[in-house]
Amino acid sequence: MQDGAPCHRSKCVTTWLHERAILLLEWPGNSPDLNPIENVWHEMKRKLSTRDTSTVHRLQEEIKHMWEFEMDEEYFQMLAESMPKRLQLVIKWKENMTKY
């Protein structure tokens, strides 16, 4: 599944997929993003904005620390449990964007 992002459409990616006969699902670029990991990335970016990430090494260290010590299992459980509500909202809003 690809959403049309430039990194998904690059020649090397499309060639690699074609050479391996990997079929892709058609997926509109403005479709509702139901993948809970996007919420995790957003939260991590928000937290990183207040930290020293001035070098690649510092950024890596902050991400590792955050992932290991700050992203608790309850948060991930809450995201997983939100999936039925997410799907219901997409249906209700006729496949348009939701608050998620």
Q: Which residue has the higher pLDDT, 57 or 98?
A: 57
Mean pLDDT score, 60-82? 94
What pLDDT sits at residue 25? 76
Q: Which residue has the higher pLDDT, 57 or 33?
A: 57
Interatomic CA distance for residues 97 and 33, integer angstroms: 8
| Most confidently predicted of 21-25, 64-68, 82-86 | 64-68
- CA neighbor of 66 nearest in space, from 53, 83, 79, 82: 53
Interatomic CA distance for residues 3 and 26, integer angstroms: 8
pTM of the model: 0.60
Query: Residue 87: which pLDDT band, with cuts at 50, 70 and 90?
Result: confident
Tokens 């999936």 found at? 83
Angle at 87 between CA 84 and CA 91, to 5 degrees: 135
Q: Which residue has the higher pLDDT, 18 or 5?
A: 18
Q: Which residue has the higher pLDDT, 85 or 30?
A: 85
Q: Which residue has the higher pLDDT, 62 or 14?
A: 62
Residue 72, helix vs strand vs coil: coil
Interatomic CA distance for residues 100 and 81, integer angstroms: 13
